[in-house]
A and B are shown apart, each in its own frame.
Chain A
Amino acid sequence: EIVLTQFPGTLSLSPGERATLSCRASQSIASNYLAWYQQKPGQTPRLLIYAASNRATGIPDRFSGSGSGTDFTLTISRLEPEDFAMYHCQQYGDSPLTFGQGTRLEIK
């Protein structure tokens, strides 16, 4: 199965700053089927990005995804207070689907 490694584990930034989150796969992800989810405490995950670079419906354009093959990035161009949360990457190009261990984005 494809192992996803997210880094950093925790990212401490201030509102207004730029956030860069990484997700590396143990092998190339078919069709770049890599998704990013945001999860806040007590809530279910929310789809942000699918197929590496496509924003899901209703997601603000400060969120962007990039990458291909084994290396992928989620960028939040200018952090809003509501963006501080846990972020998960997931590959769905091959079964079994797998998730990364998550990156916690916290207020500095």
Chain B
Amino acid sequence: QVQLVQSGAEVAKPGASVRVSCKTSGYTFTAYYIHWVRQAPGQGLEWVGWINTNSSGTFYGHRFQGRVSVTRDTSVNTAYMDLSGLTPDDTAFYYCARDPIGSSSAIDYWGQGTLVTVSS
């Protein structure tokens, strides 16, 4: 079955960086985009960026440009999100999610989420 399994919770200090991983299984990794979406406690969903796992092309949300990097390793069917210059406003659950390349469908499977807490 399709699974996206994320790395565990992170606690970081302001100004630091964090890496969240997303290991996938149960489908052809390179047939789907991987998106990163975050949700602060009690708030709505905010799109961070995506990676085309086939071409490795990326696109990031405007407010994250310059401090986020999304990469993938096709040998282990895993995507990564690196976020730098952390502030307390970055405290949120970060989700990876897949979306079929070249299809009209939308995000259909999500990882379980990784809580990133930024605190001094």
Partner of B44, one of A51, A57, A101: A101
What's the count of A-B pairs with C-beta under 8 Å?
62
In the assembled complex, A7 has its CB within 8 A of some CB on chain B: no
User: B110 contacts which chain A residues (CB < 8 A)?
Assistant: 44-45
Report the separation of the CA atoms of residues A50 and B79 in the bound assembly, to the nearest whole angstrom: 24
Contact of B45 among A57, A90, A96 (CB under 8 A): A90
Whether the pair A97, B104 counts as a contact (CB closer than 8 A) is no
* Chain B residues within an 8 Å CB radius of A11: none
* Contact A51 B105, beta carbon cutoff 8 Å: yes
Contact B44 A102 (CB under 8 A): yes
Q: How far is the CA of A28 from the CA of B42 in the complex (A)?
A: 29
CA distance A51 to B37 in the complex (A): 19
Give the interface of A toward B (CB within 8 A): 1, 31, 33, 35, 37, 39, 44-45, 47, 50-51, 54, 56-57, 88, 90, 92, 95-102
Q: What are 26 A-B contacts with C-beta separation under 8 Å?
A: A1-B62, A35-B107, A44-B112, A45-B45, A45-B107, A47-B106, A50-B104, A50-B106, A51-B105, A54-B104, A54-B105, A56-B105, A57-B108, A88-B45, A90-B106, A92-B106, A92-B107, A95-B50, A96-B61, A96-B62, A97-B50, A98-B47, A99-B37, A100-B44, A102-B44, A102-B45
